């Protein structure tokens, strides 16, 4: 009976946890207009935390360091607003040119396809889609211009939130310790770990994204692709979305090169080779080496978090999906009843190494037992001799391991 009641309590607790999680996600989705600026301001605060810590070590007064960071953030927002206005204006002026290029590309592809497939006279890909591409593009850009004021309002709210977070950053830990004397130290350590880990991730991601944007800009300049600054900035922004973002911006750049340069295929190939190479080198080689395993998140969990936060908050949610999941993992790791969740969403590499070490130890111990029973059996098992040199990572078995049990 006791076992049944225990299993029943576990089932109830699990069900309540699922219901509460769904309710929290629903509230976050409904309160998007309030929650998104708050979360973005928190991550802006974390992004500037390493700079503030460095200034504190140099004994720079807090007023000067906060003023410097706020001026820097203001310049970023002003440049972002200027970039949006100038880009929309340039695209509106270039739409007639690109509309003609799309029509020319459609005719070219239709002619090439007609050599393999019988197509009716006057058939084309655009004819299958009754859409006025020019009017659609102009209306989309106009809607972006109309939403500029809403973007400005969000930026203003984020700016104010960041200011107050910076003003209170030195009093957060003392307040936590005073509010919860028993668990305050644990909460303070958890908060410090979240701050340092997410700050390092955001800083390294910003550096890698900046290099990605620079190389996209350089690619556009070398190949003559229009609006090189646009592709550099888009590469910088979309690189914050793991996996999906790099694919989107690379596909957009190659598609624009196809529209602009066709039928000069050499320029299109150069754009494709340079952009894909940039993403492969920076995204798959340099970024993992710099980031290491500090986030310790499963790639599958990252994709799931992108889908969930994208559904809840749209594109802004996809940008902050990975840091939010990292924060969730740290919180779960410090709550006894949620440690299993932290383990499940981790990359699992450390547990895999531990499992390999245990297997090596078991093989070594079995071999030592066989040696004690019959030394002649060692000759009949040549594979066991190789076990002495087996190691995983920095774990090496000592020769006398079995004798010091």
Express each pLDDT in 169-196 by its tens digit.
877 777 767 776 766 677 777 777 777 7
* Phi and psi torsions of 349, nearest 5°: -70, -40
- CB neighbours of residue 265 within 10 Å: 10
**224 close to 267: Cβ distance less than 8 angstroms:** yes
Burial class of 21 by CB neighbour count within 10 A (0 to 12, 13 to 18, 19+)? exposed
**43 close to 198: Cβ distance less than 8 angstroms:** yes
Lowest mean pLDDT among 107-116, 241-250, 282-291: 107-116
Q: Which residues contact 95 (CB under 8 A, 6 or more apart)?
A: 134, 137, 138, 141
On the question of pLDDT at 310 being above 80, the answer is: yes
Q: Which residue has the higher pLDDT, 27 or 360?
A: 27
**207 close to 238: Cβ distance less than 8 angstroms:** no
Which domain, by its residues, includes 383? 350-404
- 56 shares a domain with 156: yes
In a domain, residue 177? The reply is no
In a domain, residue 397? The reply is yes
- 7 shares a domain with 97: no
- 60 shares a domain with 158: yes
Radius of gyration of the chain (CA): 28
Region 298-305: what's the mean pLDDT?
A: 83
- 220 shares a domain with 122: no
Q: Quick one: what percent of the chain has pLDDT higher than 70?
A: 74
- 355 shares a domain with 325: no
CA dist 65 and 54 (Å) reads 10
- 307 shares a domain with 250: no
CA dist 346 and 349 (Å) reads 8
On the question of pLDDT at 403 being above 60, the answer is: no
Closest CA to 315 of 244, 227, 213: 244
Tell me: cis bond preceding 263? Omega within 30 of 0 counts: yes
* pLDDT tens-place string over residues 373-387: 655 544 444 444 444
Alpha-helical (H) ranges within 58-183 are 62-114, 125-128, 133-146, 148-167, 172-179
In a domain, residue 49? The reply is yes
- 166 shares a domain with 193: no
> To which residue do tokens 């830990």 refer?
173
CA dist 71 and 77 (Å) reads 10
Tally of domains within the chain: 5
In a domain, residue 14? The reply is yes
Mean pLDDT estimate for the chain: 76
In a domain, residue 398? The reply is yes
On the question of pLDDT at 158 being above 80, the answer is: yes
Region 317-324: what's the mean pLDDT?
A: 84
In a domain, residue 178? The reply is no
> What pLDDT does residue 46 have?
83
> What pLDDT does residue 104 have?
74
- 188 shares a domain with 154: no
Q: Which residues contact 403 (CB under 8 A, 6 or more apart)?
A: 368
CA dist 35 and 24 (Å) reads 12
CA dist 317 and 244 (Å) reads 13
- 131 shares a domain with 242: no
In a domain, residue 179? The reply is no
In a domain, residue 176? The reply is no
Question: DSSP letter at 392?
Answer: E
User: Which DSSP string do the residues of 269-305 spell out, in sequence order?
Assistant: HHHHHHHHHHIIIIIIIIHHHHHTTSS-B-HHHHHHH
**251 close to 181: Cβ distance less than 8 angstroms:** no
- 209 shares a domain with 282: yes
Output the six-digit token pair for 374. 């019959």
- 43 shares a domain with 165: yes
Instruction: Kindly indicate the confidence band of residue 395, based on its pLDDT and cuts at 50, 70 and 90.
Output: very low
- 305 shares a domain with 216: no
Output the six-digit token pair for 294. 């500090």
* pLDDT tens-place string over residues 191-242: 777 777 788 888 888 889 999 999 999 999 999 888 899 899 999 988 888 7
């Amino acid at each position: 009976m006791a076992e049944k009641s225990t299993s029943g309590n576990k089932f109830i607790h699990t069900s309540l946890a699922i219901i509460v999680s769904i309710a929290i996600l629903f509230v976050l989705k409904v309160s998007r207009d309030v929650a998104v600026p708050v979360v973005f301001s928190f991550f802006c605060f974390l992004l500037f935390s390493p700079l503030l810590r460095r200034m504190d070590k140099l004994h720079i007064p807090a007023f000067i360091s906060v003023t410097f960071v706020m001026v820097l953030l203001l310049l970023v927002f002003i440049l972002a607003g200027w970039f949006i206005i100038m880009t929309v204006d340039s695209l509106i002026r270039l739409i007639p040119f690109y509309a003609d290029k799309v029509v020319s590309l459609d005719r070219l592809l239709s002619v090439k396809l007609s050599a393999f497939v019988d197509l009716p006279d006057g058939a084309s890909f655009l004819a299958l889609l009754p859409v006025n591409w020019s009017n659609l593009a102009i209306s989309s850009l106009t809607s972006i211009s109309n939403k500029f004021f809403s973007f400005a309002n969000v930026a203003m709210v984020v700016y104010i939130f960041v200011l107050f977070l910076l003003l209170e950053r030195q009093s957060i830990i003392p307040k936590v310790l005073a509010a919860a004397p028993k668990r305050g130290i644990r909460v303070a350590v958890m908060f410090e770990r979240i701050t340092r880990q997410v700050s390092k991730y955001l800083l390294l991601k910003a550096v890698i994204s900046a290099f990605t944007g620079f190389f996209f800009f350089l690619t556009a300049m070398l190949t003559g692709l229009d609006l090189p600054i646009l592709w550099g900035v888009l590469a910088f922004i979309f690189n914050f979305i793991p996996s999906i973002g790099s694919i989107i911006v690379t596909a957009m750049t190659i598609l624009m090169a196809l529209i602009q340069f066709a039928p000069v295929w050499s320029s299109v190939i150069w754009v494709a080779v340079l952009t894909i190479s940039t993403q492969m080198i920076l995204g798959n080689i340099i970024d993992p080496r710099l980031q290491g395993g500090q986030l310790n998140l499963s790639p599958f969990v990252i994709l799931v978090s992108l889908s969930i936060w994208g559904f809840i908050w749209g594109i802004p949610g996809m940008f902050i999906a990975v840091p939010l999941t990292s924060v969730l993992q740290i919180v779960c790791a410090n709550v006894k009843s949620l440690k299993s969740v932290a383990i499940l969403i981790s990359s699992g590499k450390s547990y895999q190494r531990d499992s390999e070490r245990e297997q090596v130890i078991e093989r070594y111990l079995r071999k030592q037992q066989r040696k004690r029973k019959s030394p002649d059996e060692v000759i009949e098992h040549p594979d066991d001799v190789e076990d002495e040199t087996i190691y995983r990572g920095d774990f090496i078995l000592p020769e006398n391991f079995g004798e010091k049990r």
